Amino acid sequence: MSAAPARERPSKMRVYNTYTRLLEEFKPITPGKVRMYNCGPTVYNYATIGNFRAYIFADVLRRSLEYFGNEVTQIVNITDVGHMTSDADEGEDKMSKAAREQKKDPWQIAEFYMNAFFDDIKTLNIQPAQKYPRATEHVAEMIAIVAKLIENGHAYVTNGNVYYDVSSFPGYGRLSGNTLEQLNAGARIEVNPEKRNPQDFALWKQDPKHIMQWDSPWGRGFPGWHIECSAMSSKYLGDQFDIHTGGEDNIFPHHECEIAQSEGATGKKPWVRYWMHTRFLLVNGQKMSKSLGNFFTLRDLVEKGCDPMAVRYVLMSTHYRQPLNFTLESVEGARESIRRLTDFRRRLNDASAPADCAALPEILRKGKEGFDAALAEDLNTSAALAALFDLVREVNKLALSRADAARVLALLQAFDHVMGVLGEVKEEGLAAEVEALIQERLESRKRRDFKRADEIRQQLKARGIVLEDFAGGTRWKRE
Ligand SMILES: [Zn+2]
């Protein structure tokens, strides 16, 4: 059975919009079709589990939208130039820094860590986005937006650098709450004499030392980080789209600047309907840092023996707007939860009650209602999982027929379309189990326990597997 339900009438969801600070009913611009952009990795190093919290949230959000009957176009960018160590204009380009430290060129660094990222998301069973545009392949689109911003009076050129004039955009600060008044009062930023306002940010920069450079109307240089997301999202999703996600550390300055750029260039508001951000992740109660020894990439955890599906479970089972404290014990607990679900699924195979159970339909209805209601309420994954485990407990009390078991299994598979932790029922697992039963049957017959031997044949038959005895042994096939 296919996991995604029919697509005619998508169910309603409510989501928390960082922009309005409200829980809002989710209404895509085109009913049933959702366009979503997720800020992706800067490929100068392996992504950390903090980064993966945001990517798994985006994955579960996409899966939930599909579960509720929407078609989703998902774009995740790859930043391979222009992201400075400060997240703003200051510091060194993260790509150049990594290249210098690892004695490679930035293109090699980008290629290597981009492929590592793709490997990692596969390991975490994150569904592939429709496209992963790379910043370095979209410089022409960025230049076009910068030119438009200059034309519209939102940007200016000084010494081959182009800056966004934040005082030209009244909405600046609306997303993050960092209004110009507040920022100027704080005045932490050193005044760059090239800038008209201290908060102006670079759209295009000149630096003869930077290895990655492109020609532009303002001289050779490279793009700022923020302009990349404005350019790549509009190229693939249009001038206005439904959802933009990121970690809460992206809200300012990154997303604030993206809004100023995109709305400044097109004049269309709102650029994005719903802004959704994951909260931070701690490890053992503290911020991840190499010096504390609590800095984990996915690879570090796999090396320590963590099951990637358990890591996924930990990252998705806490509501995305709650801080998450990641510990190795929590991975163990998650592994146990997954084991309970896979054991439950395996037991469904043994169902053999002669008649359907009258209580089951109501239990399934309630279970689905609880799971759906939790997901629909701002993606409350922890409540959805609680509903699932309630269902497991209730079903475990029943004697199920084969048809009952198939109904439960179909619902479990539909839920797993959202969770992504159980995977398909593995054929190898089945084969091993059948072979073990054949062996047991053979031994039963040797000790003349024909009753048990016959039981095994019946049990397998009930599961659609028939045994054929021949001179040298027994083989099995599906009915
Ligand atoms: Zn971005």
Please write the tens of the pLDDT for every residue from 23-50.
Answer: 999 999 999 999 999 999 999 999 999 9
**pLDDT of residue 186 exceeding 90:** no
Same domain (yes/no): 413, 452: no
Amino acid (1-letter code) at residue 286: Q
- Cα separation, 340 vs 212, whole angstroms: 51
Instruction: Give the model's pLDDT for residue 183.
Output: 83
**Ligand 1 geometric centre to CA of 280 (Å):** 17
Q: What percent of the chain has pLDDT over 70?
A: 95
Residue 168: pLDDT band by 50, 70, 90 thresholds?
very high
Is 252 within a domain?
Answer: yes
Instruction: Give the model's pLDDT for residue 2.
Output: 44
Q: What tens digit of pLDDT does each residue of 189-206 get?
A: 567 889 999 899 999 999
Residue 146, classed as helix, strand or coil, is helix
Q: What tens digit of pLDDT does each residue of 336-365 get?
A: 999 999 999 999 988 889 999 999 999 999
CB-based contact 135:79 (threshold 8 Å): yes
Same domain (yes/no): 218, 263: yes
**Ligand 1 geometric centre to CA of 229 (Å):** 5
Amino acid (1-letter code) at residue 186: G
**Ligand 1 geometric centre to CA of 64 (Å):** 22
Give DSSP secondary structure letters for 439-467.
HHHHHHHHTT-HHHHHHHHHHHHHTTEEE
**Domain final residue pick, 419, 443, 470:** 419
Instruction: Give the model's pLDDT for residue 427.
Output: 54
- Cα separation, 201 vs 183, whole angstroms: 13
Same domain (yes/no): 362, 440: no
**Domain final residue pick, 237, 256, 278:** 278
Is 292 within a domain?
Answer: no
**pLDDT of residue 123 exceeding 50:** yes
236 Cβ neighbours under 8 A, 6+ residues apart: 73, 75, 130, 131, 133
Give DSSP secondary structure letters for 115-169.
HHHHHHHHHTTPPPPSB--BGGG-HHHHHHHHHHHHHTTSEEEETTEEEE-GGG-
Same domain (yes/no): 59, 181: yes
**Ligand 1 geometric centre to CA of 266 (Å):** 18
Instruction: Give the model's pLDDT for residue 8.
Output: 52
- Cα separation, 407 vs 399, whole angstroms: 13
* Residue 146, domain extent: 14-278
Same domain (yes/no): 236, 367: no
Mean pLDDT check: name the lowest of 215-229, 318-332, 348-362, 461-475: 461-475
Mean pLDDT of 250-271: 97
**Ligand 1 geometric centre to CA of 386 (Å):** 33
Of 396, 372, 398, whose CA–CA distance to 385 is shortest?
A: 372
Is 358 within a domain?
Answer: yes
Instruction: Give the model's pLDDT for residue 7.
Output: 46
Tokens of 401: 């027929």
Same domain (yes/no): 355, 403: yes
Which H helix or E strand runs over 243?
Answer: strand 241-247
Residue 292: pLDDT band by 50, 70, 90 thresholds?
confident
Residue 426: pLDDT band by 50, 70, 90 thresholds?
low
CB-based contact 41:77 (threshold 8 Å): no
Instruction: Give the model's pLDDT for residue 395.
Output: 97
**pLDDT of residue 19 exceeding 80:** yes
The per-residue pLDDT of the chain, averaged, comes to 92
CB-based contact 428:450 (threshold 8 Å): no
**pLDDT of residue 425 exceeding 80:** no
**Ligand 1 geometric centre to CA of 52 (Å):** 15
Same domain (yes/no): 359, 255: no
Q: What are phi and psi of 467, to 5 degrees?
A: -105, 140
Of 75, 68, 74, 76, whose CA–CA distance to 32 is shortest?
A: 68
H helix intervals, 162-248? 180-186, 225-237
**pLDDT of residue 236 exceeding 70:** yes
**Ligand 1 geometric centre to CA of 42 (Å):** 9
**Ligand 1 geometric centre to CA of 310 (Å):** 28
**Ligand 1 geometric centre to CA of 247 (Å):** 10
Same domain (yes/no): 246, 385: no
Distances (CA, A) of 454 to 144, 467, 468: 76, 11, 13
CB-based contact 243:17 (threshold 8 Å): no
**Ligand 1 geometric centre to CA of 471 (Å):** 67
Beta strands across the sheet bearing 33-38? 71-76, 33-38, 241-247, 272-278
Classify residue 283 by its DSSP letter: E
**Ligand 1 geometric centre to CA of 427 (Å):** 41
Domain count for the chain, please give it: 3
Same domain (yes/no): 406, 433: no
Instruction: Give the model's pLDDT for residue 9.
Output: 67
Of 292, 259, 248, 242, whose CA–CA distance to 173 is shortest?
A: 259
Is 289 within a domain?
Answer: no
**Ligand 1 geometric centre to CA of 226 (Å):** 6
Residue, of 380 and 292, whose pLDDT is higher: 380
**pLDDT of residue 74 exceeding 80:** yes
Please report, for the domain that includes residue 28, its CATH number: 3.40.50.620
**Ligand 1 geometric centre to CA of 139 (Å):** 15
**Ligand 1 geometric centre to CA of 195 (Å):** 23
Mean pLDDT of 4-11: 58
Q: What are phi and psi of 365, to 5 degrees?
A: -60, -45
